[in-house]
């Protein structure tokens, strides 16, 4: 538990990964190029912990200790103190490449760099660094503090020692690690969920059932904690589109072909929670207070 973890990126997933580490007793550095994003990330983690305390999921002392373990840093060079740095910025090749190149420059050569990607090739991203043997993918499942699974995605040059070190770290956080050869299948979670999500969107688009009804069938009929359309809104429809496109390109299987409704919604800026409208509408904090 004494190892220091760095997280580059303070969005929904980056903040969730940092909180997962902190709740497990691990100190974590959180960096973002934007100071406002960094502040929002820490504030959101505090609010999430506050709700968890109210629901009795965690006691107030443990929540305060978790917050204390999360240290926001404004300078990327401060991440050099960590022995594992997880990149979790936007699911965009150029953005990820820029950040990984910068991390590779400032971090010790023995530091493990990882990417929390759901669709981009591990080997392609490893090419942005000079340490392919110390590089892999760590695909956390949303919401990261709650879901007990992490997919460890290996590139063709990822060393066994790197995989072992990362598995030991995450198992210490209470996570189960599924090691996957990225070049063979890509993230398994995405492949499985992609089939369900794509069919759910096609059913909705055809008028066969409403978003509410489709999610209710999965929640009440299959026992899923959250229906597929709610999950897509939470993850981001742009991320979902990239993931399905990747699976379709890898396999050529029609089940992964992105439904027209998904591409259309993304082109219109309907991205789910982050745009406050997707398959559902999400009022702003001000609007909720007015209610």
Structure tokens at 83: 């022995």
R_g of the chain computed on alpha carbons: 19
Are 107 and 245 in a shared domain?
A: no
**H helices of the chain, where?**
12-23, 35-54, 60-69, 93-106, 122-126, 160-172, 182-185, 188-206, 211-216, 228-235, 237-251, 260-267, 285-290
Are 192 and 179 in a shared domain?
A: no
Specify if 289 maps to a domain: no
Structure tokens at 174: 């209470």
pLDDT digits (tens, 9 = 90+) for 112-170: 999 999 889 999 999 999 999 999 999 999 899 999 999 999 999 999 999 999 999 99
Whether pLDDT at 240 is above 90: yes
Are 211 and 69 in a shared domain?
A: no
Among candidate residues 185, 201, 235, the one where a domain is terminated: 185
Specify if 219 maps to a domain: yes
CA angle, 103 as apex, 177 and 2 as ends, to 5°? 50
CA angle, 41 as apex, 99 and 45 as ends, to 5°? 135
Per the structure, the count of domains in the chain is: 2
Are 85 and 178 in a shared domain?
A: yes
pLDDT digits (tens, 9 = 90+) for 143-154: 999 999 999 999
pLDDT digits (tens, 9 = 90+) for 11-64: 989 999 999 999 999 999 999 999 999 999 999 999 999 999 999 999 999 999
Q: Residue 153: which domain range?
A: 5-185
Query: What pLDDT is attached to residue 26?
Result: 95
Are 171 and 227 in a shared domain?
A: no
Specify if 37 maps to a domain: yes
Which residues fall within 8 angstroms of residue 92, CB to CB, at 6 or more apart? Answer: none
Hey, which residues are catalytic here?
118, 139, 151, 190
Query: What pLDDT is attached to residue 243?
Result: 87
pTM: predicted TM-score of the whole model, two decimal places = 0.87
Chain-centre distance of CA 114, in angstroms? 12
Instruction: Please give the helix or strand (H or E) that residue 72 lies within, else none.
Output: strand 70-73
Are 243 and 276 in a shared domain?
A: yes
Among candidate residues 150, 170, 185, the one where a domain is terminated: 185
Whether pLDDT at 286 is above 80: no
Mean pLDDT over residues 55-84, rounded? 97
Alpha carbon distance, N-terminus to C-terminus of the chain: 44
Specify if 203 maps to a domain: yes
Are 179 and 199 in a shared domain?
A: no
d(CA 119, CA 20): 22
Are 31 and 159 in a shared domain?
A: yes
Pairing state between β 149-154 and 135-140: antiparallel
Are 268 and 150 in a shared domain?
A: no
How far is CA 62 from each of CA 59, 108, 175, rounded to the nearest angstrom? 6, 32, 19
d(CA 99, CA 125): 10
144 DSSP assignment: T
Are 128 and 207 in a shared domain?
A: no
Are 94 and 161 in a shared domain?
A: yes
């Amino acid at each position: 538990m004494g190892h220091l973890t760095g997280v580059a990126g303070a969005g929904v997933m980056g903040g969730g990964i940092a909180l997962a580490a902190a709740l497990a007793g691990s100190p974590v550095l959180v960096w973002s190029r934007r100071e406002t994003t960094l502040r929002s990330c820490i504030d959101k983690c505090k609010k999430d912990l506050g709700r968890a305390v109210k629901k009795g999921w965690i006691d107030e002392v443990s929540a305060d200790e978790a917050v204390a373990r999360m240290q926001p840093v404004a300078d990327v060079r401060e991440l050099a103190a960590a022995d594992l740095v997880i990149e979790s910025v936007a699911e965009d090749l150029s953005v990820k490449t820029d950040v990984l190149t910068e991390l590779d420059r400032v971090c010790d050569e023995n530091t493990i760099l990882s990417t929390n990607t759901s669709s981009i090739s591990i080997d392609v991203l490893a090419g942005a660094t000079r340490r392919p043997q110390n590089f892999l993918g760590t695909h956390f499942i949303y919401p990261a503090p709650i879901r007990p699974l992490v997919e460890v995605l290996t590139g063709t040059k990822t060393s066994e020692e790197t995989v072992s070190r990362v598995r030991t770290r995450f198992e210490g956080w209470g996570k189960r690690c599924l090691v996957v050869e990225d070049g063979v299948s890509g993230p398994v979670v995405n492949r499985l969920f992609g089939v369900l999500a794509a069919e759910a969107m096609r059913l909705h688009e055809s008028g066969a059932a409403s978003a509410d009804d489709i999610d209710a069938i999965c929640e009440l009929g299959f026992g899923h904690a959250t229906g597929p359309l709610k999950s897509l809104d939470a993850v981001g429809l742009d991320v979902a589109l990239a993931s399905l496109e990747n699976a379709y390109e890898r396999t050529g299987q029609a089940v992964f072909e992105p439904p027209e409704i998904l591409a259309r919604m993304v082109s219109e800026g309907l991205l789910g929670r982050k745009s406050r409208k997707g398959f559902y509408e999400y009022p702003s904090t001000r609007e909720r207070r007015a209610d």
